[in-house]
Structure formats: C-alpha cells, structure tokens
Structure 1
Amino acid sequence: MKKIMGTCCLSVVLIFLFQAQAPVRPVPIDEKVEALLAKMTLEEKVGQMAQVTLDVITKGKNEYVSDEPLQLDMALVRKALVDYKLGSVLNTANNRARTVEKWHEIISQLQEVATKETRLKIPVIYGIDAIHGTTYTAGATFFPQQIAQAATWNRALVKRGAEICAYETRASSIPWNFSPVLDLGRDARFPRLWETFGEDVYLTSELGKQMVDGYEGEGNEVKNPYRVASTIKHFLGYQVTQSGKDRTPAFIPELELRERHIPAFKAAIDAGARSVMINSGLINGIPVHADYTILTKLLKEELGFKGVAVTDWKDIDNLYERDKVASSPKEAVKLAINAGIDMSMIPYNFKFCDYLIALVKEGEVPMSRIDDAVRRILTLKFELGLFETPVTNYKDYPEFGSKAFEQSAYQAASEAITLLKNNNSVLPLQKNAKILVTGPNANSMRALNGGWSYSWQGERVNEFAGKYNTILEALQQKGGKDNITFVQGVAYKDDGKYWEEKDVDIEAAVKAAAKVDYIILCAGENSYTEKPGDLHDLTLSENQLALAKALIKTGKPVILVLNEGRPRLISSIEKELQGVIQSYLPGNFGGDAIADVLYGNVNPSGKLPYTYPMYANTLVTYDHKPSEEQNKMQGVYDYESDFAVQYPFGFGLSYTTFQYSDLQLSKTTLSPAEKVTISLTVKNTGAREGKEVVQLFISDLYASVTPDVKRLRGFEKISLKSGESKKVSFTIAARDIAFVAKDLRWTVEKGDYEVNVGTLKSKFTLSEGKTF
C-alpha cells in the first residue's frame, strides 16, 4: 500500500511539474476579441465606436475652450468613459502643443478610468495628427511636410522620418497616428496639396509604403513601443474637387478613380496599414461617408481592408447639416454606419451614441454591422498592446528630440530643396558676398513649417520654435551678419488671415539693394490648411509681385526662394529672375538647409513632385492626354492650347552635371508573362559630388483608351562623386504598365511601348495582351 501511495504521489508530482513546465498556448488576438465582444452590451459596443476631442473632457468654459494650465475634468471624463463607455479620444486642447510630461499625465488619467472604473476594463485608444513629426508635442522633431519629403525622391529618408515620428508620438503616450495622406495632389489650387506626395500615383504609392513601414515597422508589429498604428487618408479622391477648394464636390469617372486614386491606398493596405480616414467630400454627388459602394464593397471587400475606418472631423453631422442627404442627425448616423464607418470622430458631444443605440433597437442598423465595427476597433487595441500597456512613459524615450533625430530632419530638408533656375551659375553664392534678404518669408518659422505645426493652422509656431533658424538667421550665421542686410519689404499680418499682408515698404528694400551684390527674395505663403487655405487666385500676391518687380528693376541679380504649400504663379516675374529655389514647407531645419544650398554647402538634389503651372488656365499634370498638346499637331492653330508649364514634374537642377548613356533593354519583344530589365549608366561629369534622381518613364503608344503621354514607372536616387559612374537598372512586368480599360479591368494590350530615361529613349513590344 505504501508503494502504491508513493507511486501515486510521485505521479501527481510529475504531472504537476509537467503541467507547470508545459508552454502555455498564447491566445490569438481574434479569440481575445471574440471573447470580449461576447461580453459586451449594446451600449458598450456603441461607445467603442465613438471618439471625442480632448476639449470636451477638460476643465474650461465649454467643449471648445479649455482652461490653462490644462486639466482634465474628472466628472466629464467619467461621463464620457463610464457613462457613455467611449473608446477613443483625439486631438489636443486649445489647439496647442503640449509637453511629453503633460501628455503622459493626461493619457494616464484617462487610462486609469478606462481600465479600472469601467465594467470590461477596455483601454482608450488616443489618436493624433502627427503628420511631419509629432505635431502637438513641444520639442518634437519636425520634418519637412509631405510634399517636400516627396521632393527628396528618397525612400529611405521618408521611412526614417516616419520611424522618428512614431518614436516621438509614443514618447507622447499616443499610439495612433492620423497619417500618411495618400490623396494625389493633382490640383495646384487645393489647400492641402502640401500634405500629399504630389501628383503621381507611382511616387505616392512608393513613398506611402515607406511611411506605413516607418510608422508600423516592416512586420507591422505595432505593439512595439516605438511604433504607432498608421491611418491612410483620405479615402478616396479627396483632393480633386471641381472648384479646387476643400470639401467641395468631385466628379471622378470610375475608370479614373481606379487608375489614379485607388493604387496608393491599395499599396498601403497591402503594406498592413491599420486604419483609414474617409474623404470628407462628395464624389459624383454622393458623400463618401454615406457611400456603401466605396466604404464596404470597394474598401473592405474588394481591397480586403481589415482595419478601422474612422470618419474625419464631424463628418457624420455633415451628412445632415451640409450635404442634405440625411433629414436628421439620427438618419446621418444610420447612413454612415450602414455604409461602413467603424468609428465616428464626433467630436463635441455624445449624441452619436444615443442615436446609434436607438437605431439598433429599432432595427435600422443591424447588430452584425455593430459587431463588425467593434471587432475591428478591439483588434487594433489588442494589436497595439493597450491591454497590457495602456500608457507609454516619456522617460523610456531618451532619444526624443535628439541631435541624431534633428540631423535626419535637416537631411530631409536639404534633399527636398529644388533648384529650378540658375542663370549664369549665379548660385552658389560666395561667402563674402553682400546680400539683401527681403520678403515676407525671410524671417518666419511659421512659413517654414506650414500648417499642422504645434497647432492646426500653424499660427502658434513662434511660441515653440524659437531655437531654430529662419532663412534670415541661417544666412547671417553662415555668411556673417556684416554681409547680410535685411529689409522685409512685405510682411504677413499674423493676427489675420494667412494671406493678409501688412508693412509694405518696397521703397526701403529698393534703397537697400543699392549696397549689395545679390538679392535673396523669400516669398510664397504663410501657414494654412483645409478650408482656411482656400483661395480665389493662385497667382503670388500683388504685394510680393510688386516687391519682386521693383527689385528686378535695380539691376541686381534677384534669387527667388519660394517657401509655399502649393505652386503660386510667378510667370510675370520668372524670366527676369536669375535664380529660383523651391523649398516647399521644409520644417524647423528649413532655414539652415536653404542657407546651405545658397552658399553651396549642400548640392541641391530635389525634384518637383508636381507640375509647376505657368498660367491659371494650364493646371495640367505631366501624365496628361495627347489632346492637351494640340498645338503640336499639323494644321491646328490654337497656339494657346499647349501644355505650357513653368517647370515640369520631376525637374530639378544641380551644381554638378550628369550624363546618361548606354540605355539597354534585356528584351525588345516580350509576352505578358515575361519581364524586361532596363539599364543605363549615369556619370557625374561635373566638378563636385552630387545626388541624382534617375526617373523611368514609359509611354503606351497606342491603346483602346487614350493613353497618357507618359507615366512614371520607376525611380532611384543615387550619389556620385565627380567623375564617378554607376549602372542603374529597373525591372518592369506587364502589370506595371497596365491601364484600366473600358471594362474597368487592369489591362495591357499588344503593341509598342516607349522607354524614356533622361534624354535616352528606346522601345519594346508586347506580343499579346492580358487582363489582370
């Protein structure tokens, strides 16, 4: 009996030890989500779908204005998180940046309530617009805006900028970023063009993937405390409105929608982007927030998007208040949720919850739609690791605002700057040259950064960016104050609208020009975005043009430094300028980068990511149809119908020269199943090291749908020392040169295709067609 008892005890001990040592099967996220979803009430589910702005739950006069110093109103916090069971908060308070310490305090308090005082302990997901750095965090590293990043044509720089932004956003205790913008910037009038990667679908797709990888990590491990969930926006066709103004109607044929506007979003979805923000406007008369075909059939079913679809600011209300497709706010909620919206950026009250709960009880919104939305939201929260670590701590991010991060931002700014004109090699300037610096952008950090910089419209930049150099300050540091004369000539009215100007003293600038060798005219725009950035005239302001013309008359060489969010028309003065530099919106290190380019410390390598128009009625993109160039056709005499541009897409000069040679194709006839390798040699034939963007364009010479004159199909940025040569190769498959045919399917047709790299051209032939 003792032996039997001993054996039994030993068996029990061995079983216990085996169980203790056996690995515990990790519970997959989808199982965790389903288990939690099964416990949730309707009210708890609807709360997860609601998002309010921070001002709603702070101490202050009302939901629009918070007290300073900023404090949460814990009664309002509990009303939002406990009573209404809200799952998300966004934005900053009083439209201003906060310190990492304040962000940690605020979000810790929110998560304390969410994870300890609610029934199911579901953490809040906090979201922010961190679009060129962590927008609303004091001391964060600000990169150039997206349009300037596109001008670098440098995939690695774009990815690195996103990595740093993700790190510093997490240092701010925020895990969800409303970036990148993947709209195509195809209309120079549009006030958010500078938030895009420009007019081309291939360039946007390539850089969009880099930004998603930078935010989320190449394996999309957003649980990593140095990564954030990205939000691709604004799905779909947002920036090609008929009027060129924000949130106004767009009319886009489905063929165009599929060929131009879907591919960048598809590429980002395939790269694993966790969320998508929806177009605030209308396409073909239907508000996108109420469009089941776009949000469910296209986005979720055809493109296979598994993440969260979040509205833009107050856009469900707009279905009733602005667009008149809903007869009441309640019906607006019904339309949007049934169309496929998962989370509502409300942002000012809790009525959305009341309406949606009622709609479900009335059978107007199916519970299956609610469960689908909440499943997506909970999945994102689990993927971010919020249940284990609801708040990250700034103390764990020692590289925040570091010199290494700042150097990356400076490099991006310096590679973005695009030299557009350099008559008689007026640039670079000698260090001892006497220079007049003038213009409204010469001494403005606000203009260098643009919107979404410490505040929505960027008007608070000067409160936070005092340690950085304006263009003037950077020139004074690098060229010596004794060599720099500053007379502003024209100034912005910073307490008014972004375009309003004051202190027009052109005569003082003209007088100062008599004592200098060169004039640096810093012109362009003040900061703006969205509706406040709408304009009626794309031409550079009358005051700035008057200043330019007066300075040109002095006979001194005038070098125009453009600092603007979109290409303002300069055709009335361009011919008389000796030099033109486009700096876009280069961020906090833009002044240093501009000065280094002007003095030759940096050899410019930026290339235009859009077509710079010459006239108000020639707003045509590079990938236009042949009929835009009818003046080239024999017997047609309408000579003002030509493709007249100031500077073409992809253009940019250097202080050195490059020679392209030896263009070779691995095949000149191929089937749709084969690939062709296109190679060439690039040599630096100048006297100094430089970087060159090698751009591959391919033209489909004849097709059943009129082909574009050419399309960008590849690019590589290379660096070459003086006299150095490199071979550059591109591999192109039939799918890479496909177009959307009349049946709305991606197609290649047999026939001839022309390859164009620099001045080199060749052809290949497809032996047969194929539909993909």
Structure 2
Amino acid sequence: MKIKNLALAALVALACLPNAQAQKGKTSKALKAQATPSPTDIDQKVEELLAKMTLEEKVGQMAQITLDVVGKGENRYSSIEPLQLDEAELKKALVDYKIGSVLNTANNRALTPEKWYSVISQIQEVATKDTRLGIPVIYGVDEIHGATYTAGATMFPQQIGQAASRNRELVRRGAEITAYETRASSIPWNFSPVLDLGADPRFSRQFESFGEDPYLAAELGVQMIDGYEGVRNNIGHPEHVASCMKHFLGYQVPTSGKDRTPTTISETELREYHLPSFKAAIDAGAHTIMINSGIINGVPVHSNHDILTKLLKEELGFKGLVVTDWGDIEYLHTRDRVASTHKEAIMMAVNAGVDMSMIPYQYEPFCNGLVELVKEGKVKEERINDAVRRILRVKYALNLFERPTTNPKDYPLFGSKAFEQAAYQMAAESITLLKNEKNVLPLAKSAKVLVTGPNANSMRTLNGAWTYSWQGEKVEEFTGKYNTILEALQQELGKKNVTYVPGVSYKADGKYYEEVAENIDQAVAAAKGVDAIILCLGENTSTETPGNLSDLYLSDLQTELAQKLAATGKPVILVLNEGRPRVISRIEPEVQAVVQAYQPGNFGGDALADVLSGDVNPSGKLPYNYPRYPNALVPYIHKPAAEQGKVAGVYNYEADYSPQYEFGHGLSYTTFTYSNLELSKPQLLANEQLTVSVTVKNTGSREGKETVQLFTSDLYASGITPDVRRLRRFEKIALKPGESKTLTFTLTPDDLAYIDRNGKKTIEAGEFEVRIGDQAQKFTLVGHTF
C-alpha cells in the first residue's frame, strides 16, 4: 500500500479527479444531463410546488429522522442485521407524516455502496411514488474525512491534520473525492465541513476542526466546500454533494471544555474569531448549515433569533437550509429548560430560524406539535413557507426530483488507487515534526527499532471517530488491507529489524476507554537490543460527550512507559497519534524526537513510516498551540497581557505564556532561511493595497516543502487591546537544495481591521508590523478611523 513517488501520485490522482474531468469537458453524456437547474427555474418550481402543499406536508418537509426508525427491529433505536427496511414504518413516516429527510446509518455501522443504493432506493420509491406530491427525501450523513460511513471508501486525515498540511489543493482534492464516493453511496448531502474555531485543546471534537486560527479555517473551509459542491456550486452534478457548514456559532469553546455545555462569548469575540470562517463559506455558496448545540451567554443557540435569523439569514444573507444538530429542539425542554414543554421548544426553535429538525427518533411530537402551533397562531405559516422554500431549493438544486438516487456502478473510481494516493499524500504532508535533537531522524534503513505504545498497532487510532462508526470502535472490521504504524515500519525497515511490545493497551469499557499495562518491563528489556525506540502514544478514539475528559495530561500508564524507556538511554522517538494535544511536558525533555501524526487515516501508518525513514521530508505545521501544562491553555491568538514575563515587575516565569510548541511550528529534514522582507510602501492609505515580498531559500541538503506564513501585529489600538499577532496569508512551496523563491503577498486595510466594542468592524490608523519567519518590517496605516 505504500507510495514512494509523491510527484507521480499527485499527477495520477489529479488526472483522475471527477472535478478535473468535468472542467476539461470529459464528462459523460449521462453526467452532462444532470446539470443543476438555474436559480430562476428552481425558484419557480419551488413556488409552484409550495402552492400545492398542505400544512401537514410542509411540516413533514421540516422533519428529519434517523435510519433506524424505519429499519426492522424491536424498536426505533436499533435494527436487525443485516439491515432491512420496515415497510409499514417507512410508509408511516413518509406517507402519513410526510417526512422529508433521513440521516445517518443503521446500527452505527458502515454500509457498502450497493447496500446504500438499495436502502435509499427503497426510501425514495416510497417518497416519490406513494405520496401525494412525490417529493423526494434528502439523505444526509457525516462524511467528515472521506465517505466515513461507506465500506471501502477512501479515508483522509481528520480535518486537524488537513489543516497541518497547509495545502489548499490537497484539501480541495480530498473533498472532491469524498463527494464522489458519497454520491457513489447514493447520498447527496454531507454534514461537513466543520468551521468551528478549535481553540480549546480540552474539547472532544478539536480534531474535527481546522484548528485555532480564523483565517486558516476560512481558507481551508472554502477549499472543502469547492471540493464538495464544485467551484460553481453545481450540486446537481452527480459527483457533487450539498455541503453543510457546522456548527453555527461558537461551538468548540465551552467554558468547561466539555461538549454541549455553556459558554460566554462577547459580541466582539464572536465576530472577530468565530464568524469569519462561516462568512467565507456562505460567500462561497455553501447550501446548508448546522447549528451549535450549546448555550452562549445563557441562551441556547437553537432558540436564539439574534444568531439564527438576524445574523445568519439577514445580515449574512444566507439563503440556504438551516438544520439542527441531533435532538436539539427537544433539548430546549429536557436539558436547557428554556421551554416548559416540548411543544414550546418547537415554537421557540422554528421562530428563531430553524428550518429542519434532526429529531431523530420520536418524530410525531414535532410534526403534530408544529401543525398545532401554526393553527394556534404561535408560528406563522409564512415562517413555515420560508423554511420549506429553503429545503425544496436544495432538493431541486441536487436534482433529486429528476434523479433521487445515484447508482454505484456509475462510479468506477470508487476506492481506486488514484484516490488512495491522494489520501496518502495528504497524510504525508500533515505529519508534523516538532522536535529532532541531534538529527536523530530520519532513521537509517538498517536501524533496529523497538515499536511500542498503545497506538502502535491500531488502525482505529490512526483514523479516529466518525470512521465506519460514530466513535470509531468498528474500524478494525473494515481495515484489514491497510497498515498500522507497526506494520508499515516492518515493511519499511524489515521485520527482522523491528521488535514490538505493546507496553500499554486500550481496553474497551462500554462507552468509555481504559488502559491496561501490557508487559512494560518486557518493553524496557527489549530496548537494550535496538538502536532507537519508536514510542506511539496518544489517546483512543472518541468524539462528542464520550470524549469529554478531566485531565489533559497524557495518561499515567503511558507516562510511566515513556519514563522507563527514556531511562534506558536509547533514543526515544515519540509519535503522537491523538485527536487533541495531550500534555507531554512530563516526558518531553527526556525524548529526542517528537512527531505529531494527528489522526491521519488509513494511509497514516505508511506515511509515518516514510517520514521516520526519510523517504518523505516532513512539512506539516501545527494548527494550534500545543500546551505545556493543563492550566496554561493560552491560544496563539492572545493579548499582550497573557505574556506575563514581559510585564514589568512580574517574575513568575513558570506561569508565563510558554506553549510546548507554538502555532505554525514544524521542522524539516532540511533548513530554510528567510531574507529580503520588503514592503511596497511605508505608509498605506485606506483605499490602497500593501505588497509584501520575501525570499525563501533551501539552505539544506535535500528537497523540502515549507509553508511561508505572514503574520501582522497591530501595535496599538484604541478601546480594544490588539492581539499579539494574527495570521493573514500563507503559501506552501517546494524547494530543491540551494533553490530560492521570492513570494509576494497583498494586504488591504480590511485585513488590518478589528471588531470594536459595539460589534462593528473598525479599521484604525496607526502603526503595524509584518512578520514572516525571522523577518519583520513596520508600516503605518494613515488617515482616519473608519
């Protein structure tokens, strides 16, 4: 499964991409016939259909149920195996209650493309043939790093790893492949990308984000949407899907660090840090959006009219479909207690701006309750009409009325070598070298190594959650042909040179995961006969509430294993395979190299082995601050006062701003030098652009890739303390030994704006600094504040 020639892999994968085919005019006649109708045609069809609909039919369109509800089984929460649809339950939901959407897989298990096609065809047959108006169902699934609920699909690194790659082209390519393979599963709607600001390392879903920088998230989010929907958002094309931005807004920064718990976010912070990625995605044409399950400033977002209607629909002009997260309308009553009854919760959410309710099991109370609310005058029918318009527009744009299903036989590239090569390349470029004392890496091909740790021989931990199942616990059932880290190293270095002792293993315990010691002393003994120790640590897979934790330190058993191995005196190469940065400060000084692999997918083992052996020169950059201590979780975007060591009279340097590794950090096996940072002018007027150029040279002995990152600092601002620095531009380049390249970036005054205390964007005259690498230059923005 290994791929040695990345350049060839890139060319092959690009040539085989579905979007590349379409753009070159090579699309088949059958696919050409599926062009997206024009917006005018769609609007006309929507209004004609809406005029024919009863109130009950409209409300049904606003309801979304999970697949198990219509599967044969003892109840609505699970289905028999193999999955079979219950015709009576299906007709009750779709015919009697007019349900307009289905989501998820059944029994928390991936299905083959053929099974998906069979199941969804049955659903669409009932929806289009047995109902009065024949409105097709829109089917949605979380395909967040590949077609994650489809057996045999191509799995990419989780979003956090994709952010580390800093490679826009690879992110778009992965989304194109995911869209292709999702449509091969007859699914047209993907609940992705995650555009939340992943600024809290305690949070159980940080790995699903692009990290803690708004600009990085916006740039890569747009690439992912372009990949899913096509650059023209022609989602009716049978190789594209409707994307779903999530989770609007401010989801990943709860005060407790735990999923779906309350937070306090000022208007300034909400707009300055959390809004930009969503605004960019809306401007890019994303068709749907999912809402934050949490509570901001005491108000559940699902009942927040200011956020869902005034901000999202009116100010940002979002014309698409707004869907809840899992069961969140009911939670307004049962959990958040802002509604005294479930019916009142429905009223609050729909009036706030929700268009579709992800119910997911008990749909009758929603449908019956919303009909009653309209008849009672508590929800206006025009609000219902607005919601249904948005839903029908997406269904027409997807061409579901013309082609409600897509057949896997029409997708010959599904799971192809070209797609696998693209996944490998993304994994290879995501891996981030954080430490490399005395150039202990790369390893010699003849090196004898001990491979140990709970993540060394696990496909599950390489992939993470949302892989073949919700928590990723079923990964091993589907991944027999891929290589774990151990297996990849055995191929790379030879089995005779690789000794394996687990040392520590994960033990499943219901929803939660425990660790057990497994021959730690044997691992220590085995270290005596090797040249280096490859210690694979991190965490088991989890997401959402099951992934909540109370201690960000690496576990006690893993720490013990690391300390005992370090005491042998053999070089220790710490490989981190984790969904969030578990604190390693108790062991980091004792290891010679640290490699962050994140959750790199099915080809992560191969990519990591190639990095460790030197076949691949690492080029990843951290998408977050890696914290040194659990009580020092300061993100890279912070105020000067967070750097206490620089404040006069403060001498507690232990408590200073000092992450283990900072945002943007990432080493290479070569060296790069920066020089000749130049600005086009020393002063910038309000209507002018600033051109910034810098020269980067590869001063080492091997070819490498470098991400050139441009930061700005507002040296003084009035009213709001400026951030120490902000990422404004980045570009990834490849340089041969001795080669140099001059890059040019363009900044505008808008790039220097900030959100003031009134929630308004402000561009303020004053002095600024541009920094790229170790180069810095100052300039002045002149004129008035505006």
Q: Write out aligned runs for 1:190-589 (5 A).
A: 190-350=203-363, 351-589=365-603
Amino acid at match of 2:349: A
Residues 747 and 769, structure 1, Cα contact 8 Å, conserved in 2: no
Q: Write out aligned runs for 1:581-600 (5 A).
A: 581-600=595-614
For the residues of structure 1 that align with 2:746 and 2:38, how far apart are their CA atoms?
44
Q: Does 1:656 align with 2:670?
A: yes
Q: Secondary structure at the residue paired with 2:576?
A: strand
Deviations 1:383-403 (A, max 9, x none): 000000010100000000000
Structure 1 match to 2:25: none
Change (3 A) 1:732 1:749: same
Amino acid at match of 1:713: R
Amino acid at match of 1:493: K
Deviations 1:263-322 (A, max 9, x none): 110000000000000000000000000000100000000000000000000000100000
The CA deviation at 1:618 is 0.8
Deviations 1:655-707 (A, max 9, x none): 00001111111111011110000001101010000000000000000001100
For the residues of structure 1 that align with 2:108 and 2:154, how far apart are their CA atoms?
19
Q: Does 1:719 align with 2:734?
A: yes
The CA deviation at 1:246 is 0.2
The CA deviation at 1:750 is 1.0
The CA deviation at 1:26 is 10
Q: Secondary structure at the residue paired with 1:407?
A: helix
For the residues of structure 2 that align with 1:68 and 1:670, how far apart are their CA atoms?
67
For the residues of structure 2 that align with 1:309 and 1:456, how far apart are their CA atoms?
23
For the residues of structure 1 that align with 2:38 and 2:728, how far apart are their CA atoms?
46
Structure 2 match to 1:730: 745
Q: Does 1:98 align with 2:111?
A: yes
Structure 2 match to 1:19: none
For the residues of structure 2 that align with 1:279 and 1:499, how far apart are their CA atoms?
26
Structure 1 match to 2:126: 113
Change (3 A) 1:422 1:361: same
Q: Secondary structure at the residue paired with 2:290?
A: strand
2:149 aligned to which of 125, 132, 136: 136
Structure 2 match to 1:21: none
Amino acid at match of 2:78: V
Structure 2 match to 1:709: 724
The CA deviation at 1:745 is 1.2
Q: Does 1:744 align with 2:759?
A: yes
For the residues of structure 2 that align with 1:412 and 1:213, how far apart are their CA atoms?
17
For the residues of structure 2 that align with 1:759 and 1:496, how far apart are their CA atoms?
50
For the residues of structure 2 that align with 1:732 and 1:370, how far apart are their CA atoms?
44
The CA deviation at 1:641 is 3.3
Structure 1 match to 2:4: none
Residues 436 and 484, structure 1, Cα contact 8 Å, conserved in 2: yes
Deviations 1:564-590 (A, max 9, x none): 000000001101110000000000000
Residues 679 and 729, structure 1, Cα contact 8 Å, conserved in 2: yes
Residues 498 and 526, structure 1, Cα contact 8 Å, conserved in 2: no
Amino acid at match of 1:599: S
Residues 153 and 415, structure 2, Cα contact 8 Å, conserved in 1: yes
Q: Secondary structure at the residue paired with 1:421?
A: strand
Residues 641 and 647, structure 2, Cα contact 8 Å, conserved in 1: no
The 4+ residue runs of structure 1 with deviation greater than 4 A are 24-27, 495-498
Structure 1 match to 2:781: 766
Residues 672 and 770, structure 1, Cα contact 8 Å, conserved in 2: no
Structure 1 match to 2:21: none
Structure 2 match to 1:176: 189
For these two proteins, the number of residue pairs brought into alignment is 748
Structure 2 match to 1:622: 636
For the residues of structure 2 that align with 1:167 and 1:703, how far apart are their CA atoms?
48
Structure 1 match to 2:18: none
Structure 2 match to 1:34: 47
Q: Does 1:638 align with 2:635?
A: no
Residues 127 and 175, structure 1, Cα contact 8 Å, conserved in 2: yes
The CA deviation at 1:27 is 6.7
Change (3 A) 1:450 1:741: same
Amino acid at match of 1:658: F
For the residues of structure 1 that align with 2:509 and 2:501, how far apart are their CA atoms?
21
For the residues of structure 1 that align with 2:784 and 2:524, how far apart are their CA atoms?
64
The CA deviation at 1:636 is 2.2
Q: Secondary structure at the residue paired with 2:145?
A: coil
Q: Secondary structure at the residue paired with 2:707?
A: strand
The CA deviation at 1:498 is 4.7
Q: Does 1:683 align with 2:697?
A: yes
Of all paired residues, the percent bearing the same amino acid is 68
Deviations 1:18-67 (A, max 9, x none): xxxxxx99971101000000000000000000000000001111101101
For the residues of structure 1 that align with 2:537 and 2:106, how far apart are their CA atoms?
32
The CA deviation at 1:495 is 4.7
Residues 112 and 151, structure 2, Cα contact 8 Å, conserved in 1: yes
For the residues of structure 2 that align with 1:498 and 1:654, how far apart are their CA atoms?
37
Amino acid at match of 1:514: K
Unaligned runs of 5+ in 1: 1-23
Structure 2 match to 1:757: 772
The CA deviation at 1:539 is 0.1
For the residues of structure 1 that align with 2:686 and 2:538, how far apart are their CA atoms?
47
Q: Write out aligned runs for 1:79-98 (5 A).
A: 79-98=92-111
For the residues of structure 1 that align with 2:73 and 2:154, how far apart are their CA atoms?
30
For the residues of structure 1 that align with 2:644 and 2:484, how far apart are their CA atoms?
45
For the residues of structure 1 that align with 2:733 and 2:40, how far apart are their CA atoms?
46
For the residues of structure 2 that align with 1:449 and 1:660, how far apart are their CA atoms?
36
- Scaled by the length of structure 1, the TM-score of the pair is 0.96
Amino acid at match of 1:523: L
Q: Does 1:74 align with 2:87?
A: yes
Deviations 1:125-164 (A, max 9, x none): 0000000001110000000000000000000000000000
Amino acid at match of 2:759: L
Residues 516 and 557, structure 2, Cα contact 8 Å, conserved in 1: no
Structure 1 match to 2:3: none
Unaligned runs of 5+ in 2: 1-36
The CA deviation at 1:497 is 4.7
Residues 232 and 268, structure 1, Cα contact 8 Å, conserved in 2: yes
Structure 2 match to 1:3: none
For the residues of structure 2 that align with 1:110 and 1:119, how far apart are their CA atoms?
15
Deviations 1:382-430 (A, max 9, x none): 0000000010100000000000000000000000000000000000001
Residues 517 and 557, structure 2, Cα contact 8 Å, conserved in 1: no
Q: Secondary structure at the residue paired with 1:476?
A: helix
Deviations 1:88-129 (A, max 9, x none): 000000000000000000000111111111100100000000
The CA deviation at 1:496 is 4.3
The CA deviation at 1:549 is 0.2
The CA deviation at 1:623 is 1.4
For the residues of structure 2 that align with 1:294 and 1:148, how far apart are their CA atoms?
30
RMSD: 1.1
Answer with 1 or 2: which has the greater Rg: 1
The CA deviation at 1:640 is 3.2
2:685 aligned to which of 668, 671, 674: 671
- Scaled by the length of structure 2, the TM-score of the pair is 0.94
For the residues of structure 1 that align with 2:46 and 2:393, how far apart are their CA atoms?
6
For the residues of structure 2 that align with 1:693 and 1:499, how far apart are their CA atoms?
37
